Structure 1
Amino acid sequence: MSYTRKLLAGAILATGLTATSAITASAAECIAPADPGGGWDFTCRTVGRLLTELGLEEGSVQVTNMPGGVGAVAFANVAGKRADDGDVLVATSTVGVTQIAQGKYPGGIDVMRWVGMLGTDVGVIVVPADSEYETVDDLLNTLKADPTSVPVAGSSGAGGWDHIRLLMLADEAGMDDDAYKAIRWVQFDGGSPAVTQMLGGQVGAVSTDLGEIAGFVESGDIRIIAALSDDPIPAFPDAPTAKAQGYDVTGYNWRGFYTGGDVSDAEYQAWVEELKSLFDTAEWKEAAEANGLITVWRGGEAFEAYVAEQAKQMEDISRSIGVIQ
């Protein structure tokens, strides 16, 4: 535990809260449940770097990439081996909670303690810069004519949040259940690998989060044909929203962290306070907005209630489109 969190935890203990284990100093670790280059990796590396640079952590935050099962491997590792390790944070998002809601993780949301969210990513549909699909209408009309004609990729499996967002657009376009379920979906372990394969001609479009692939947009390699946000994205104001094109679909993906379910109240609250301190800095706002994130804070009990509410919502959506029974 960093010196800062050690002091915070000690102060919290002094108020009468109890800890389940002794508080000792050790290095903080952030687990990114995916390969380097994706949104969870960005979350760990950016937050870890800023915690160190701003003096909120006394040393470098170790980032461990632990891909597999769209976060299920990291979830199982922490639940089974590090449930009481107060020095560990795990990056997660709407994608992870969707997987939990669909029973694809080895446990429900109550297995972990949900620390806080620092911002929300915006879902986007992207194509190569030289793609024949100039607008989201072009893509959806092609899929309506033949749902198998254009393979689409994302960083979640069939029924995951990236896939659900595409199906929500297909539903808005008037495709019936059988048709949009026939769309060819390809999973990659991160938005960046999905875009790389798209540029290699393996798929025709990608549904993912802007924060994962903003660099490809900036370089001009790909184009956003639909931003799934209420308003234009500040970092890319010229990117057309789905709503502006007649599709009433939004698809936000918050970025946050959980820690083990047996972490003490004092250690848990120290993480909440430390992340809130980071959120309040100009450095975090600058880093977030540069990567297409909208800064939003929810922490502690409020965040845990929000995660529970969202898990229920994702379960309901998954049932409505036939992903789970």
Structure 2
Amino acid sequence: MKRTRTALIAIAAAAALALTGCSAQGGGDGTGTGGDEEAAFTDVSIIVPADPGGGWDQTGRTIAKVLTEQDIVKTAPVTNVGGAGGTIGLAQLANVKDPATLMVNGLVMVGAIETNGSQVRLEDATPIARLTDEALVVVVPADSKYEDLKSLIDDIVDNGQAVTVTGGSAGGADHILAGLMLEAAGLGSAEIPTTLNYTPNAGGGEAVSLILGGKVAAGISGVAEFQQHIEAGKMRALAVSGESEVPQLPGVPTITEAGYDVVLTNWRGVIAPGGISDADRAELERIVTEMHDTAEWKKELETKGWADAFLTGPELDDFVTQNITDVTGTLKNIGLI
């Protein structure tokens, strides 16, 4: 049976104040509403629940850029709140009073909530939109001894903890992909946790440093996060995780083509604080939809290799519910929870 998993699956006081305070976007000044009257946000705050340099950070800053450059909102400041696969940021979002707030989220957060036993769950927030879907890429340093994916996986199976793989947060898409590849190589759910030596990172910049510094054997992340280093000849791509090859990395095989029956893509979207009014949710959906419909957003998707996976409303609610079920099952199957 084909094992295919597709996922459509300490902080500074000033930052804390910025996140928990009620800013000018909400309240009674005509720029927002806490009631059921029509909402109109002229500014939004964007929270990236990760350190700079990774896919969430790229997503959040791209959203801010398009929103402001296309005059959809006046300002869209970005705040990074890294740690624990986004669950630290999610916990802070639970205390945010300003409804004109968007937090980047996605498959990584779904998995991290389970692996970290987070008390605040995705169900406690307000889904606004699913935006993108992206293949992951398995890379090694340019001078690595691994010439293809099989040589890497064989070494992990044979030597276990001696072979270190890095990527994003524990329980996130990168970690799940590593486990799925070992499952496809024949390891059972009890063997995978003791065989896989996975080093998680709160941001893409940390993973890049480990790979380029030769501190790890391999790395996994979104194509957009590693693409420039692959093109510069500093990393070598072994395989991508989608159904087909990606245009940004011509000639790089899929994991399935490399001999392992695994497909995994990483979705990203935005959520808002829980308990906001229907009017506030509708206004945030309007803002994000207007952004999605711009030529500038479409250009950013093409440049970064992100697939358009736009979804809002009841269909998004259903997707999130099903994705939580699917990811939890996958984590159990590969022994990560």
Both proteins in one fold, TM over 0.5: yes
Pick aligned residue for 1:121 from 95, 112, 134: 134
User: Cα deviation per residue 1:147-176 (whole Å; 9 max; x = unaligned)?
Assistant: 12211111112x333111111011111233
Residue 107 of structure 1: how far off its partner (Å): 2.1
- Tell me if structure 2 keeps the 8 A contact 1:95–1:161: yes
Taking structure 1 as reference, are residues 179 and 103 closer, same or farther at Cα in structure 2, changes over 3 Å only? closer
- Tell me if structure 2 keeps the 8 A contact 1:9–1:266: no
Q: How many residues align?
A: 311
Q: Is the counterpart of residue 174 in structure 1 residue 201 in structure 2? A: no
Partner of 1:74: 89
Partner of 2:71: 55
Taking structure 1 as reference, are residues 131 and 61 closer, same or farther at Cα in structure 2, changes over 3 Å only? same
- Tell me if structure 2 keeps the 8 A contact 1:155–1:191: yes
Partner of 1:214: 227
TM-score (norm 2): 0.85
Distance in 2, matches of 1:283 and 1:304, equals: 27
Secondary structure of the 2:134 match is: strand
Gaps of 5+ in 1: 11-17
TM-score (norm 1): 0.88
Residue 137 of structure 1: how far off its partner (Å): 0.5
Distance in 1, matches of 2:112 and 2:204, equals: 16
The Cα RMSD (Å) is 2.4
- Tell me if structure 2 keeps the 8 A contact 1:9–1:270: no
Pick aligned residue for 2:144 from 119, 126, 131: 131
Distance in 2, matches of 1:74 and 1:54, equals: 27
- Tell me if structure 1 keeps the 8 A contact 2:82–2:203: no
Q: Is the counterpart of residue 205 in structure 1 residue 221 in structure 2? A: no
Q: Which amino acid in structure 2 is aligned with residue 255 of structure 1?
A: R
Partner of 2:105: 92
Partner of 1:147: 160
Q: Is the counterpart of residue 160 in structure 1 residue 161 in structure 2? A: no
Gaps of 5+ in 2: 1-23
Q: Which amino acid in structure 1 is aligned with residue 71 of structure 2?
A: G
Secondary structure of the 2:129 match is: strand
- Tell me if structure 1 keeps the 8 A contact 2:133–2:309: yes
Residue 19 of structure 1: how far off its partner (Å): 2.9
Distance in 1, matches of 2:135 and 2:190, equals: 27
Partner of 1:34: 50
- Tell me if structure 1 keeps the 8 A contact 2:167–2:220: yes
User: Cα deviation per residue 1:79-99 (whole Å; 9 max; x = unaligned)?
Assistant: 0x21x4211100111000112
User: Cα deviation per residue 1:52-84 (whole Å; 9 max; x = unaligned)?
Assistant: 111111x231000111222111111110x21x4
Q: Is the counterpart of residue 184 in structure 1 residue 178 in structure 2? A: no
Secondary structure of the 1:207 match is: strand
User: Cα deviation per residue 1:240-269 (whole Å; 9 max; x = unaligned)?
Assistant: 111111212111111110000121111111
Q: Which amino acid in structure 1 is aligned with residue 87 of structure 2?
A: A
- Tell me if structure 1 keeps the 8 A contact 2:256–2:262: yes
